[in-house]
Amino acid sequence: MVSWESKRIGDLLLLANGLVLALVLNQLASLHFFRVDLTEERRYTIKQPTKELLANLDDDVYVEVYLDGDLNAGFRRLQKAVRETLDEFRIFSGNKIHFTFKDPASAAGQKAQSEFMTSLAEKGIQPMNVIDTKDGQRTEKLVFPGALVSYGGMEQGVMLLKGDRAQRSQEVLNQSIEGLEFELANAINKLTMVTRKRVGLVAGHGELDSLKLASLQSKLLESYDVARTRLYQPVDAFDVLIIAKPTRLFSAQDRYALDQYIMRGGKLLLMFDRLDASMDSVSRGNYVAFPYELALEDQLFHYGVRVNLDLVQDRVALRYPVVTGVVNGKPEIMALEWPYFPLINHYADHAATRNLDASALRFVSSIDTVKAEGIRKTPLLMTSPYSRRMAAPVRIDMNELRKDIKPEEFSAGPIAVAYLLEGTFTSAFKNRFLPEGVDSSRFLPQGRPAKIIVVADGDLARNEISNRTGLPQELGLDPVSGYKFANGDLIMNMVAYLSDESGLINARTKEIKIRPLDREKVKNSRALWQAVNFILPLGFVFLFGVLKAIFRKRKYARFAV
């Protein structure tokens, strides 16, 4: 005979044991925090350098995200991704990250809205005019896809919508979502950094002057201590050296100083032109571009790259205004594609170049690699497949703009125009007589691990000068189209990669896959799946009821007399 009292006690004991076990497991879990990311591409996994940055915060960080209100589906997806990323930041920081979402259009009154939006633009959060169709009506709205990060009384604006604008809007959003961790973590890192890295702008060889480097220097000063230097001065204290478009000879002593800086583990960003070509010279007519005499060629060859004596032409290029005729006594001006100004939209899948918009180059040369033991070579920038090389001496004629392009002549691409060199370099002065006047006692024939980025175009770092005001323009701004290319972001990423010992920039390698539905397949099978989703749950309920009735009948039939 069944004792119902003993069965009830047993059930209560079993429940009590379960509760105690749950409490014990909860206490054990609280001692060791962990999270499990079950997504294929690990989209919710925060990189280790970011975790360390968040874990070492000394004070609270406040983030205001300006993605709220009436947003379309794409920006709601970005909003959700930002919220998820900040929530992960909050957990790994021990609740030191506080964030809110605001709608810039919610300010009371038109004047208050205008002032608030102007203040956001001044902090680097630029608006976007989003045109959408809703219920058959066309609507326009200003959206500020950015955030303001505050720490210790300081603020840093962050643009959250970045990517290759030549791609579809969904792809741009996806690239922006992939870069959220880096953009937000980088802003926090700038505000919390106690000691800043030092960047040296090398002078003394006809490099770009202060006015032409003003935009780049301003961007660098947001994250680094920047100073002008010459190679005969001590340069070992600089974490990164930048040489931007030199035009005069490097002395043997300067080449030796540069070599020994690299041997001691230095990081170098070298942007230079192999041939002397500029629009000021070309506009005179039938200009011939001859090589610059820099004396760096043998040294770079020893390190593993050769910048060729040529110019690259690309059908994917910037436009340049030319006079095509005269109408009613006035010149008729038209902007035509100038093949010597290639638009770089083909990047390496690398932390320094991933998910960037196009960059604008001018009179760029090709780069080849040569054998160098222990050096890893990565092509960072490539032209489009529709490009070709023009060997020196190159005759450049503005009349080429008016000629029809023959597509069959532009088939040599993609052509590499920038390389990253990493590894332990051997001195270019090994087994050679050292230059006069140098300290031979400190000579290193073999160096420590170092990094060099070589870009075969010095104009990458040059900002335009306004003809009207004489002031420097933003780096990457094209005066003809008014479009801002990614030159500034590209150089900042390069410098960050060269100087980033913590590896924070590797957060830019995060990949999130788009898995779109097949719209045609959805349309054709719509009725089938609607029927399945309606009938199947009812079928399960009916089957469960039948099985339960059978089970109850059999169970209680045993007690029948």
Can you give the residue ranges of every domain in the chain? 1-32, 48-191, 196-279+300-308+346-388+416-509, 520-557
- Does residue 164 carry a pLDDT above 70? no
- Per-residue model confidence (pLDDT) at position 527: 79
Average pLDDT value over all residues in the chain: 85
| Residue 45 in tokens | 């996994």
Nearest 5°: phi and psi at 221?
-65, -20
State the number of CA atoms in the 13 A half-sphere of 557 facing the CB: 6
- Does residue 2 carry a pLDDT above 60? no
CA distances from 162 to 32, 46, 166, 348 (A): 36, 20, 12, 17
| Residue 397 in tokens | 């004629």
- Does residue 515 carry a pLDDT above 70? no
Strands lying side by side in the sheet with 61-65: 97-101, 61-65, 146-151, 154-159
Cα 331 from Cα 328, distance rounded (Å): 8
| DSSP one-letter code for 467 | T
Residues 530-534, mean pLDDT to the nearest whole number: 81
| Residue 388 in tokens | 């070709």
Hey, is 344 helix, strand or coil? strand
- Per-residue model confidence (pLDDT) at position 34: 58
| Residue 330 in tokens | 């006035």
Nearest partner of 86 among 220, 175, 180, judged by Cα: 180
Strands lying side by side in the sheet with 416-426: 225-229, 198-202, 240-244, 267-271, 446-455, 416-426, 375-382, 346-347
- Does residue 514 carry a pLDDT above 80? no
Count CB neighbours of 52 within 10 A.
Answer: 13
- Per-residue model confidence (pLDDT) at position 125: 82
pLDDT grade for 63, boundaries at 50, 70 and 90:
very high
- Per-residue model confidence (pLDDT) at position 462: 95
Q: Determine contact, residues 504/52, Cβ cutoff 8 Å.
A: no
| Residue 383 in tokens | 């032209």
pLDDT grade for 388, boundaries at 50, 70 and 90:
very high
pLDDT in tens, 307-359: 999 999 999 999 888 776 666 767 777 788 889 999 999 999 898 998 888 99
- Per-residue model confidence (pLDDT) at position 130: 72
Cα 286 from Cα 295, distance rounded (Å): 27
Instruction: Find the helix or strand (DSSP H, E) in which 75 lies.
Output: helix 73-92
pLDDT in tens, 251-308: 999 999 999 999 999 999 999 999 998 888 877 777 888 899 999 999 999 999 999 9
Q: Which residues are within 8 A (CB) of 260 and not within 5 positions of it... i.e. 6 or more apart?
A: 427, 442, 443, 444
CA-CA-CA-CA torsion for 247, 251, 256, 257, nearest 10 degrees?
-70
Residues 502-525, mean pLDDT to the nearest whole number: 67
pLDDT grade for 501, boundaries at 50, 70 and 90:
confident
Nearest partner of 387 among 455, 316, 456, 318, judged by Cα: 316
Q: Determine contact, residues 61/98, Cβ cutoff 8 Å.
A: yes
Hey, is 123 helix, strand or coil? coil
Cα 548 from Cα 552, distance rounded (Å): 6
- Per-residue model confidence (pLDDT) at position 3: 56
Residues 354-383, mean pLDDT to the nearest whole number: 93
pLDDT grade for 394, boundaries at 50, 70 and 90:
confident
pLDDT grade for 422, boundaries at 50, 70 and 90:
very high
Q: Which residues are within 8 A (CB) of 7 and not within 5 positions of it... i.e. 6 or more apart?
A: none
Cα 464 from Cα 212, distance rounded (Å): 7
Cα 187 from Cα 150, distance rounded (Å): 9
Q: Which residues are within 8 A (CB) of 44 and not within 5 positions of it... i.e. 6 or more apart?
A: 35, 37, 84, 88
Strand 146-151, strand 154-159: pairing? antiparallel
pLDDT grade for 49, boundaries at 50, 70 and 90:
confident
- Per-residue model confidence (pLDDT) at position 90: 92
Q: Determine contact, residues 256/443, Cβ cutoff 8 Å.
A: no
Cα 401 from Cα 47, distance rounded (Å): 48
Answer with the residue of higher pLDDT: 501 or 319. Answer: 319
| Residue 299 in tokens | 């040294």
Residues 392-398, mean pLDDT to the nearest whole number: 85
Nearest partner of 251 among 190, 200, 296, judged by Cα: 296
pLDDT grade for 376, boundaries at 50, 70 and 90:
very high
What fold does the segment set 48-191 form as a domain?
Glutaredoxin (3.40.30)
Hey, is 225 helix, strand or coil? strand
Answer with the residue of higher pLDDT: 322 or 84. Answer: 84
Residues 438-444, mean pLDDT to the nearest whole number: 89
Which segments of 363-495 are extended strands (E)? Answer: 367-369, 375-382, 387-391, 394-396, 416-426, 446-455
Hey, is 92 helix, strand or coil? helix
Q: Return the CATH number of the domain spanning residue range 196-279+300-308+346-388+416-509.
A: 3.40.50
Length of the chain, please? 561
